[in-house]
Amino acid sequence: MKKYQTGIKNWPEDERPREKLFKSGEHTLSDTELLAILLRSGSKGQSAIDLARRIIEEFKTFRNMSHTDIRQWKGFKGLGQAKIAQIKAAIEIGRRFGEEKIEKKKKITCAKDIVDLLMPRMRDLKYEIFKVLFLDGGNKLIEISEMEQGSISQASPVIREIMHRALQGFAAAIICVHNHPSGNPNPSQEDKDFTKELISAGKTMQIKVLDHIIFGDNTHFSFADEGLM
C-alpha cells in the first residue's frame, strides 16, 4: 500500500480501508487495513494505517495480540485502553463465530470436531481450564460447560458435579477437555487417573464418556484416539 503523509480521509477514496471494504468486501483487506478500521484514528503525525502497521510488526499475528499482557501495548503512541479493548473484543468475536459453526453440527463424530472448535481458545489460556461437552443419544451437542478453572499447573474437576450436570441436562454422553499451559498435551498421571475414575462413574450412571482431550500449543492428545478409553 502506498504511504501518504496526510490522514486517511485525504487519501484517494478507492484506497481508504473503509471504502475499500464496502466496495470489494472485507476479505480483500490486509491485516493492517482491517486493524486500521478498528482503530479508526491514529495520532499526531501518524494515520490509523501507520499505527496498525506498527502493531502488526510488533505482534505478527492476531493470535499473539489476543493473549498478551496489557503492559505490552503501552509503547504504542495513540493507543489507549479503549482501542486495545476494541481489538481484543474483535478477536474474541472471531473466536465465538468459529464456535457457532460446530454448535450447528448434527453429530460429533471424532476428536477432530472438538479440536477444530476449541483449539483457537484453549491453546492460549494461561491457566488450566476444564470443560465438558454434553451430548444427547445421537451425539448431538447439547451444551459446553466450563466446570473449573485451576492454577497455572492443574485443575481438579469434581466428578460428582460433572455427572450431576449431565443428569440435569439429560445428556447421554460427555467429552471432557482441558488445556496444558506448558504447551505439551501429553497426559500426566493425574490426568490418566482422573479419566479412569470418570469412565467408572459414567458406567455407574449410564453416561458414556467418549473422550478426554488435552490441548497444547496447536497440538492435542485424545484418550480415545490413543485407545485409552
Q: Is 146 helix (H, G, I), strand (E, B) or coil?
A: strand
- Mean pLDDT for 75-92 is 85
Please give the Cα distance from 215 to 179 (Å, whole number): 4
- Rounded CA gap, 29 and 143, in Å? 35
Q: Which pLDDT value is given to residue 22?
A: 87
Query: Of 95-104, 116-125, 141-150, 212-221, which gets the smallest average pLDDT?
Result: 95-104
Cell of 26: 472485507
pTM for the full predicted model: 0.64
Q: Amino acid identity, residue 198? A: L
Question: How large is the average pLDDT for residues 128-139?
Answer: 92
Specify whether the CB–CB gap between 61 and 92 falls below 8 A.
Answer: no
Query: What's the mean pLDDT when you consider all of the chain?
Result: 84
* Location of C-alpha cell 445428556: 171
The predicted pLDDT at position 106 comes to 61
Average pLDDT for 134-151: 86
- pLDDT surpasses 60 at 229: yes
Nearest Cα neighbor of 109 from 133, 139, 131 is: 139
Binning pLDDT at 50, 70 and 90, where does residue 5 land? Answer: very low
Q: Which residues of 135-144 are buried (b: 16+ CB within 10 A; e: fewer)?
A: beeebebbeb
pLDDT of residue 151: 59
